[in-house]
Every structure is written in structure tokens, then in C-alpha cells.
Structure 1
């Protein structure tokens, strides 16, 4: 038993203390000021307990750090174009912009280089806005349900796509930026139920996003309504036009890769 105790003490003594240093700064102020020493006096002021009571003036560890300015060296979705000066949090700038070499500090030298068009992209390389590519990806990853009347004759037009997008909280102000297939799609025709076709939406007159549209027949009479199909957007697309099959499958593949 004594041997076990001695061995345990040896194990404990072999461990080394790890010291981890951190830079911090706390500014304090005495609550009760100390009297100054009189001139030519050898008696120093006596510090009592009340003189060791401090108030915190500023603690830099908990103080919110100010944003820093950086110059983007490439386009960043949702942030800005190449050559723009943006203000971001220091941690975000260091981890996501400076380390991946997507931005540089907005120093006087770098600002001068920016004025000399070193970091400025050409207009044809710039997206139409900082959110245009993100909007384009969002549209391409969705399956748009286009509800058509089950009882009255119809032919799909641009405004049908605009209304379907509005139901998805996507507001298109002008039908001119919507493209539908040149071949007409008319009904009611239950053979088209659940089948898909491609429509295009142009963003800011520049980016063009392809959207998978799925036909669904709807009736105002409860007895004539078709049964609701859950998770229809997970099914493989069944194209109305065979020439769109490859594009529909590529859109679905991109959506699965993102998931």
C-alpha cells in the first residue's frame, strides 16, 4: 500500500504546470485618492484599506471592437465588388477575407493602388449587384409550382410565372424579364400533371437564371381537387419537352449537391 502511495506522489510531481499568457488591459481608478507626499518630507503617505478599492474605468477585453476597413481583391457575395472598401468586424476580416487573400488592409498605400485601378475589376466582370449571384443560385435550386385551372381552358403565359413566384415571396416587377418556352403549354390536360418545364428570369438585365416549373391542376371545388403530394420537389423531374431533360437533371443534381 505504501508503494502505491509513493508511486502516485511521483506521478503527481512529474506533471508540469502549463502557463498560458493572454494580452489584456483593464484601466482602474482609485475610489478614494491617496494624499500626496509633502515637499521635503521624509514621511510617506500611509495606505489604508480604503485606498485599495478600485473602480473599473475601461475593460478592453469586453469592449466591442470597432470595424476595420479592407479593400476587396475579388467579388464577395453579399459584401461587395472587387476594389470596393468595406467595413467589417476584425474577426470576420481576418478569418474570411485577409487569410484567404480575398482582401487587403485599407492602408494609404493600398488605397493609392486602388486609385491606380490595381484592384478595380472591369465592368463586364462585375455582377449586377452584390446579391445577384446569390439570388440566381436561389432561383435555380427551387421547384416552382405553377397552379393552373382544372376546369377552364388556359395557356401558360409570363404572368402565370410571375404570380407563382409571388407566392414564393419573390416579386418580379416586369414580365419582360421572364422567358417561357416558345412551344405553347395548354390545358387543362391531366397528362401534364406533375411534369416540368424550364422558364428563365433575368436579374438586373444581366444574370439569367433557369427555374424548374412544375404544372399542378387546381380546382375551386373541393371534390374535384387532386390529392396533395408531399415533398414533390424531391422527385425526379418529368419534362414536358424532351429537349429540356438534360437541363432539368442538371438543376436537380446541383440542388442535391448543395444539400
Structure 2
């Protein structure tokens, strides 16, 4: 009732791998013993067993492949802008750029099609660095915690914000920090766990950062 057709039975009986896939391998070989020459127009001599003994010259599967040049077709955070030509390792170029559709091969046809000159200096983008977009994304999700004294009088100043940024792993100069228009003084427990906005300028871009104010008892 559940029998298979004869061809299928034959395949299963022989153990043939149905998922077999051909691979591309290249080996450069050299004969250990050269075959004898023959006269022009004459009959070639019969090759003997020793003429089929080869020495391995190079295994192309083990040799280092050259870098691949690709053209970005859109802005990639931390990498570059559309039209930039990158030189990457084959695995990285294929996995992270070609397969997701972020880049294309920098072939002569594509260079001519998109009118890209590899020797032409890169056009300055809106960002001074390809990492600006990533930095803005991290800072926009950050709620900066500032701890102030619970007993000593204080006034919130830019250097407090700069120090808290440094504790969070960001180096922000004081001249890039703009404090709120209202002066924040303490100790004032009514400000405990309250959020304030400060303005931070990163690469000609201004964004708002949240500050969470807390008090700490100092002996």
C-alpha cells in the first residue's frame, strides 16, 4: 500500500544523497613525470601510470581571496553614504551588504551606470562623521541621571551634566551643552526624580536630552 516506484526504491537502496550539491573547487596541478613527445603528425605515445601522478602546486580554496569593491546605494549607519565605494572582505561584503541590498558590485558597468568616479573626493555629507547618526540614536534614548547633594547647597551647571555624560560613556564638551532657561537649585526634595531637558549640540545638530535629578545623602 505504501510501496515506492522502482526508480525511487533503487535510489533509496543505493543510499544516494538526495541533497547532494555540486561545489566549485580549483586545484593547480603539475605532472611529476612529463609525457614523451611525438613527431609532428605522428601518433602520440600511450601514457603510462606514472604520467598520471601529479604534484599539488596550489589549492585555490586555501588561498586568500582579494577584497571586493562595492558601491553603497543608500546611507549605512557607521559605514558611509550612498555612492561611496568600499573595499571589503568577500564574506563581509556578501553577507552584510550585497544580500541585504545595501550595495552592489563596483563593476565597470555599475560605475559607468551610476556615474561614480573612484578617484573623485567624497562629497561632504550633512554629518561630519558616519557615526553621528548612531550617536544621536543612543543619546535620544538616554535618560541621564544626575545625583546632587541632599545637605549642601548647589546650583546645576553644565559641568554637572558633562560629568554625568562621562559616567554614562559619552564625552560631551561643556560648550555643547545648553542648560534650561530656569536655574535649578537645591537641595530641593520636590525636584527628586523629576525630569528636565538640556540641549546638546552634536555635529551641527541640536537635540534634547532628558535629565533625571536625584539627591544623595553626604555625611
Instruction: List aligned pairs for 1:1-259, cutoff 5 A.
Output: 12-13=9-10, 15=12, 18=18, 19-29=20-30, 33-37=32-36, 39=38, 44=46, 46-48=48-50, 52=53, 54-55=55-56, 57-60=58-61, 62-98=62-98, 101-112=101-112, 113-115=115-117, 126-172=126-172, 174-204=173-203, 206-221=204-219
SS of 1:137's equivalent in the other structure is: helix
Distance 1:53 1:101, change over 3 A: closer
Distance 1:101 1:14, change over 3 A: closer
In structure 1, how many angstroms separate the alpha carbons of the residues matched to 2:54 and 2:101? 48
SS of 2:49's equivalent in the other structure is: coil
In structure 1, how many angstroms separate the alpha carbons of the residues matched to 2:11 and 2:64? 42
What TM-score results when the alignment is normalised by the length of structure 2?
0.75
Distance 1:100 1:145, change over 3 A: same
Computed over aligned residues only, the root mean square deviation of the Cα atoms, in angstroms, reads 3.4
What TM-score results when the alignment is normalised by the length of structure 1?
0.65
1:161 Cα shift?
0.6
Q: How many pairs were matched up? A: 205
* CA displacement 1:61-120 (0-9 Å, x = unmatched): x444332222223221111122322222334444544455543433345445135xxxx8
In structure 1, how many angstroms separate the alpha carbons of the residues matched to 2:37 and 2:71? 57
Greater fraction of residues in helix: 1
1:39 Cα shift?
4.6
Distance 1:43 1:114, change over 3 A: closer
| Runs of 5+ unmatched residues, structure 2 | none
Greater fraction of residues in strand: 2
